[in-house]
Each structure stands twice: as C-alpha cells, then as structure tokens.
C-alpha cells in the first residue's frame, strides 16, 4: 500500500507575509512529516471585508519571494484567481479536485483564526476535507473549541509576536520591519511603495 502524500495548506491574507507565518508552516511541516506546504493567499478576504488590502498580485508575489528558497514550500493562485471573497471550504474543495484522493490535507491556522472557525461556512464539510492544525500565537488563547475529535490538533510553535497589521503600521510610520519579514519582502515593499499611504 502506498502512503498518501501529506500536504500542508497555509491560508492567509499575507499582507505582507512575515516570519510568524513561515515559522508556523515550517514547524507543522516538521512535526507532522508533511511532504510540502502550499501557501494560499486569499482573494478578497471574507473576514476582512471593508479593510483595504494590498493587491492580490503583490501579496502573491511576496509569498513567492518569501518561500522560494525552501524546497518544501510553494504558493498557489487558487484563491486569488477565483472571483469573490475567499471561503476556506472553496479552497479545500478546489485543492481536492486538483490533488485527488491520494493526498491528505493539513490546514494550518494560528490560534486566532482557529477560534473563529466555528463561525465559518460549512464547518462539517471542512473537517471532512482536511485535518486542521492550530498553532500557538502570542496574544491569543489556543483552546480546543469543541471541534470534532481527531480532526483538529493543537501545537505549540516558537512565539513570534509579529502580525501583518503591525508590519503595515510600521511601514506607514517609517519604522523598520527588518527581521520581522524576510529581507526580500522589505525590499519588495520598498520597491512597490506598499503600505506607505494612509488607508483610504
Ligand atoms: P493581519 O494582522 O493582517 O490579520 P496576520 O499577521 O494575522 O495579518 P494573516 O495573513 O491574517 O496574518 O494570517 C494567516 C494565518 O497565519 C492565520 O492562520 C494566522 O493565525 C497565522 N499567523 C499569523 N501570524 C502568526 C504568528 N505570529 N504566529 C502564529 N501564527 C500566525
Ligand atoms: Mg490575521
């Protein structure tokens, strides 16, 4: 019997991608023996309606730049190429269609995102489509919110108190983001002039 391929899925706005995302993905990949982690930048985020976010193409390219050196990391356009807001159930359905039944999915979320999961659409189907790995995140409680047995694992990862919101605020007020995000991301943000403008 051949073993199923084990694929991590790291969904996020990645506006911009930072070391908190990368460490979470790397830790889960190691401890759950994943063959690969696919970073999936959201289209219009269903959880951030009304918020001004950077163009999908910029968020996608930053994810590519940040993950390029890791042979087990890749980036998917699946959500940014689908019109309308991103729902995780659509991401997982499309990934299932793409990868077939020989792949086991491990959807990686931080503590904050996990606690919002019960408010998502179609949670029953979500747990049929994928395992969920909730990772610790400073400032957020990681508790089992009573999710279906065996489908959700909680995992402690090195605490990095970094958020994209803080990175954007720092750029806006001229503070450094070196070492919070990969070097290439600092340079890309500078080159494209991202986050310098006050949000409309
Ligand atoms: P924003 O401040 O814009 O919400 P963010 O830093 O929360 O940005 P997202 O793109 O919203 O980044 O997060 C994508 C996923 O990564 C979510 O599941 C989130 O919980 C997780 N995540 C983000 N930052 C960290 C971190 N520092 N440690 C662990 N998990 C994180
Ligand atoms: Mg967030």
Read off the pLDDT of residues 148-184 as tens digits, 9 standing for 90 and up. Answer: 667 889 999 999 999 999 999 999 999 999 999 999 9
Look at ligand 1, atom 22, and give the residue with the nearest C-alpha: 110
Q: Ligand 1 — pocket residues by CB below 6 A?
A: 12-15, 20-21, 24, 109-110, 112-113, 135, 137, 160, 162-165
User: What was the ipTM of the complex prediction?
Assistant: 0.99
Instruction: Tell me the ligand closest to 163's alpha carbon.
Output: 1
pTM: 0.93
Nearest to 157 by CA among 182, 137, 132, 133: 137
pLDDT above 50 for 199: no
Look at ligand 1, atom 18, and give the residue with the nearest C-alpha: 109
Going along the chain from its start, the domains and CATH numbers come out as: 5-192 (3.40.50.620)
Please return the burial class of 30, using the count of CB atoms within 10 Å of its CB with bins 0-12, 13-18 and 19+.
exposed
pLDDT above 60 for 90: yes
> Given the CA of residue 165, which atom of ligand 1 is nearest to it?
2
């Amino acid at each position: 019997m051949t073993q199923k391929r084990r694929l991590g899925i790291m969904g996020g706005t990645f506006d911009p991608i930072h070391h908190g995302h990368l460490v979470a993905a790397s830790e889960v990949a190691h401890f759950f023996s994943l063959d690969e982690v696919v970073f999936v930048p959201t289209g219009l985020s269903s959880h951030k309606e009304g918020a001004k976010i950077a163009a999908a193409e910029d968020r996608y390219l930053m994810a590519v730049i940040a993950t390029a050196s890791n042979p087990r990391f890749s980036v998917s356009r699946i959500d940014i190429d689908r019109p309308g807001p991103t729902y995780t159930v659509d991401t997982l359905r499309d990934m299932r269609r793409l990868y077939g039944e020989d792949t086991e999915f491990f959807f990686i979320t931080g503590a904050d995102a996990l606690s919002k999961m019960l408010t998502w659409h179609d949670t029953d189907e979500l747990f049929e489509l994928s395992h969920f790995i909730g990772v610790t995140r400073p400032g957020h409680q990681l508790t089992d919110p009573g999710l279906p047995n065996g489908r959700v694992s909680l995992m402690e990862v090195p605490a990095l108190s970094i958020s994209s919101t803080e990175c954007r605020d720092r750029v806006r007020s001229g503070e450094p983001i070196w070492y919070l995000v990969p070097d290439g991301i600092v340079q890309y943000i500078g080159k494209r002039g991202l986050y310098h403008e006050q949000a409309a």
